[in-house]
Structures are given as C-alpha cells and as structure tokens.
C-alpha cells in the first residue's frame, strides 16, 4: 500500500551570515507503515535537518523548506499552517532526541508530565491517563513503574531518562516516531537495550520509526531500510540486507569499511566534508572518492540509478548510469 511518509525532492535551506546553506538538497525516500528506516551519515550530512523538516522543527539558524514534498498519510505537510502542523507533532508524529533532558521538564514528576501529554491530545479522565502513564513507564522498561511515576527526571539515570522520554513520545500513540541519535549519549550496553526497546515498541505500537544515526552498527541492528546521506544528498538507499550485502556507492562502502569486522575495520575515510555553502559541482563525494572520473566533477549530482535492476536499491554514482560500468566500483577492494 501507500507508504506512511513519502519525501520527494526535499530542499531545506538555512540563511546564515556566510551565505545560503543548502542543508538538504533534493532528498527523496519513503517510510512504509510499520517499517524502520534509518538515515545514516556523518554530521553535516543533512540527516538531522531532514528529520526536523518533517515537522518543521528547524532550529537556529533560521531554516526553511525551500522545495519538495513531505506527504504524510496522504497530506503534504509542507503546505500545512504552523498550528495544524503543531497538533500533528506530538500527536501522530513524535520525536526522541539524543539528549532526553530536552524532552523532560525538571520541575515536574515524570508521571505528571506523561499524564499531561496524554490529556493534551485526548479527552480522557485524569485517572485513566494516570493508568496509561504507569503502563507506558512499565512498557518502556522502568522497574517499579507505579513508584517511579512520582520521581523527578533528575532521579533517573541517563538510560532510564531516555526510556522516560520514549514513554512521553509514545503517550499519544504516534504513527511515526522520529528518533535522532537516541543512543549516542549512552553507554554501549545501555545503547543496545534502548535499541532493542525501540525495536520491540515499533512492533507493539504498530508504528513506523525513522531513526537518524551516524552509526552503521545501529542500522544493522534495527533497520528495514537505509538511506545513506552525504553533504545534503542521498548517495544510496535500499533494503538493509541489500545495502550491507551489496554496498554500491563508494561512500557506503567506505562507511562499511569503518565498521569493526568489515573491510579492514579501523579504516577511516580520508578528506573532509565539503563546504555546505559552496559544495563541489558534480558528485558531492568526488573530492574524497577513489573512483572519481572527469564526469564526476561537473554538472549535478548523478541521478538515482537502480542497482542490478532493483528499483528499491538505488545509488547516485556515474558508474551506475546507463553506459557506465558498476564493476569499476564493485570489483576493487573490500568488502
Ligand atoms: Fe565517486 Fe564519481 Fe561515483 Fe561520485 S559519481 S561516488 S565521485 S565515482
């Protein structure tokens, strides 16, 4: 059926003193119902801004959507007024961030805050909301939820705080949860617990998850599909199995080589992200790409090309364009 979220040619810009930053520059992908899609990329890739554009959370410096469509359940969110969009946010679309502190008010007990979130969006009695809140805390794995209901945010550890923030996000039974680096600030063992929690909740709450991360290990853990971003553009996207088994874009391959146990493990990608104000012509990755040819350095980013005729797995690279030779990229080096 129809995907829950369909982003087409999204362009988000920031007006800065140094000039116009095209943070997201023609990004397209879908999130199906009940699916977990990961956007992966380095900082500066535009992955966070993509997530923030969906509910227009764009923070400083002043950003705006300059083009494209964000169709959520049949409605183009880019055309909604701020008020309608605000009611959608926190109701049908919820966010979880790297720092759970931001989602929680230090002055109130966590239980009180979840009850408020429920009552803000639903006409239920205080008692019913309270029961739901305790149940939510229990479902996100807070031990002794009834007692902890009365605790303040500072009384929870980092991992437990993130669980509470997730309970807040789920208070309204959202259709889409956008989680931006939700585990990055946590210890490794806690990271894994939070990831498997998100995985469980995604099924339990029958929601779609858009997970934004710099960590391909996280992607392997939870994603159904993956979108690889670089310098505001999508380099490759496809089913997680296909992308990990047949990484086709040189950037994806380089990212995978940096994963422990793949390629030479400790690899890192040479060079730096291009300037977001004055990005290179042609393929944005060309200054760092070992497979670059003249055609990569002129014109626009190459179009999305199907990998092995599979329209669900596409890559933006000249070697995959009609008449090109993908084996140039594929047959050299690891993995
Ligand atoms: Fe490398 Fe050229 Fe492909 Fe870009 S288009 S990834 S520079 S080979």
For residues 225-247, average pLDDT: 96
In the structure, what pLDDT confidence band is assigned to residue 202 with cuts at 50, 70 and 90?
Answer: very high
Ligand 1 center–CA 259 separation, angstroms: 21
17-40 tens-digit pLDDT: 899 999 999 999 999 999 999 999
Q: Which pLDDT belongs to residue 335?
A: 45
CA atoms of 170 and 322, how far apart (whole Å): 46
The verdict on the CB of residue 291 being under 6 Å from ligand 1 is yes
CA atoms of 133 and 278, how far apart (whole Å): 49
Ligand 1 center–CA 268 separation, angstroms: 18
Contact 315, 236 (CB under 8 A): yes
Ligand 1 center–CA 237 separation, angstroms: 15
CA atoms of 159 and 221, how far apart (whole Å): 18
The verdict on the CB of residue 44 being under 6 Å from ligand 1 is no
The verdict on the CB of residue 254 being under 6 Å from ligand 1 is no
Ligand 1 center–CA 212 separation, angstroms: 24
- Probe ligand 1: pick from 234, 250, 305, max atoms within 8 Å of CB? 250
In the structure, what pLDDT confidence band is assigned to residue 1 with cuts at 50, 70 and 90?
Answer: confident
CA atoms of 209 and 326, how far apart (whole Å): 32
Nearest CA to ligand 1 atom 3: 317
Atom of ligand 1 at shortest range from CA of 283: 4
Q: Is the peptide bond before 102 cis (omega within 30 degrees of 0)?
A: no
SS3 192: helix
Question: How large a percentage of the chain has pLDDT more than 90?
Answer: 75
Above 90 in pLDDT, residue 151? Answer: yes
For residues 255-280, average pLDDT: 78
Nearest CA to ligand 1 atom 4: 283
Contact 283, 296 (CB under 8 A): yes
Q: Which pLDDT belongs to residue 225?
A: 97
Atom of ligand 1 at shortest range from CA of 302: 5
Burial 10-23 (b: 16+ CB within 10 A, else e): bbbbbeeeeeebbb
For residues 247-271, average pLDDT: 80
The verdict on the CB of residue 235 being under 6 Å from ligand 1 is no
Ligand 1 center–CA 34 separation, angstroms: 33
Above 90 in pLDDT, residue 137? Answer: yes
Name all domains of the chain by residue range, CATH numbers in brackets: 1-92+176-335 (3.40.50.300), 100-173 (no CATH)
Above 80 in pLDDT, residue 279? Answer: yes
Count the Cβ atoms, other than its own, within 10 Å of residue 210.
Answer: 25
| Cα–Cα–Cα angle for 94, 139, 184, rounded to 5 degrees | 55
253-262 tens-digit pLDDT: 999 988 877 7
Q: Tokens at residue 136, please?
A: 């939510």
Q: Which pLDDT belongs to residue 89?
A: 87
Nearest to 177 by CA among 137, 206, 142, 218: 206
For residues 134-156, average pLDDT: 96
Higher pLDDT, 90 or 290: 290
For residues 180-189, average pLDDT: 90
SS3 39: strand
For residues 105-122, average pLDDT: 94
For residues 253-280, average pLDDT: 79
* Helices 158-170 + 110-121 axis angle, to 10: 20
The verdict on the CB of residue 289 being under 6 Å from ligand 1 is yes
The verdict on the CB of residue 230 being under 6 Å from ligand 1 is no
35-92 tens-digit pLDDT: 999 999 988 899 999 999 999 888 766 899 999 999 999 999 999 998 999 889 878 9
Nearest to 285 by CA among 328, 247, 254, 242: 254
Nearest CA to ligand 1 atom 7: 286
In the structure, what pLDDT confidence band is assigned to residue 332 with cuts at 50, 70 and 90?
Answer: low
Q: Which pLDDT belongs to residue 265?
A: 53
In the structure, what pLDDT confidence band is assigned to residue 333 with cuts at 50, 70 and 90?
Answer: low
Nearest to 110 by CA among 83, 142, 65, 81: 142
Higher pLDDT, 331 or 73: 73
The verdict on the CB of residue 29 being under 6 Å from ligand 1 is no
| Cα–Cα–Cα angle for 56, 174, 36, rounded to 5 degrees | 85
Q: Which pLDDT belongs to residue 60?
A: 63
CA atoms of 288 and 56, how far apart (whole Å): 32
Q: Which pLDDT belongs to residue 302?
A: 97
Q: Which pLDDT belongs to residue 330?
A: 81
Atom of ligand 1 at shortest range from CA of 320: 3
ipTM exceeding the 0.95 mark: yes
Average pLDDT, the chain: 92
Q: Which pLDDT belongs to residue 263?
A: 62
Phi, psi of 278 (to 5 degrees): -130, 70
Contact 326, 250 (CB under 8 A): no
Q: Which pLDDT belongs to residue 267?
A: 59
CA atoms of 3 and 181, how far apart (whole Å): 23
């Amino acid at each position: 059926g129809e995907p829950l979220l369909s982003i087409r040619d999204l362009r988000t810009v920031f007006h800065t003193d140094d000039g116009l930053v095209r943070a997201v520059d023609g990004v397209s992908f879908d999130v199906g119902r009940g699916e977990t899609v990961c956007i992966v990329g380095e900082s500066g890739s535009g992955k966070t801004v993509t997530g923030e554009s969906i509910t227009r959370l764009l923070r400083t410096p002043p950003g705006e959507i300059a083009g494209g469509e964000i169709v959520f359940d049949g409605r183009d969110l880019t055309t909604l007024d701020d008020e309608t969009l605000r009611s959608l946010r926190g109701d049908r679309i919820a966010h979880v961030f790297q720092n759970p502190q931001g989602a929680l008010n230090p002055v109130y007990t966590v239980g009180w805050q979840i009850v408020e979130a429920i009552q803000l969006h639903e006409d239920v009695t205080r008692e019913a909301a309270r029961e739901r809140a305790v149940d939510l805390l229990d479902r996100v794995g807070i031990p002794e939820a009834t007692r902890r209901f009365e605790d303040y945010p500072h009384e929870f550890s980092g991992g437990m705080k993130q669980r509470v923030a997730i309970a807040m996000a789920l208070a309204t039974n959202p259709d889409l949860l956008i989680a931006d680096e939700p585990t990055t600030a946590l210890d490794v063992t806690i990271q894994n617990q939070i990831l498997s929690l998100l995985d469980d909740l995604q099924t339990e709450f029958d929601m779609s998850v858009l997970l934004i991360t710099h960590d391909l290990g996280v992607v392997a853990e939870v994603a159904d599909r993956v979108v690889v971003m670089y310098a505001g553009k999508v380099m490759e996207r496809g089913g997680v199995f296909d992308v990990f088994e047949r990484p086709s874009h040189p950037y994806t391959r380089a990212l995978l080589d940096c994963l422990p146990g793949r390629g030479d493990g400790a690899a890192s990608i040479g060079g730096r992200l291009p300037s977001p104000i004055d990005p290179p012509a042609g393929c944005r990755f060309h200054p760092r790409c070992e497979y670059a040819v003249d055609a990569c350095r002129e014109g626009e980013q190459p179009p999305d090309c199907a990998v092995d005729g599979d329209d669900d797995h596409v890559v933006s690279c000249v070697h995959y364009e009609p008449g090109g030779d993908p084996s140039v990229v594929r047959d050299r080096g690891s993995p």
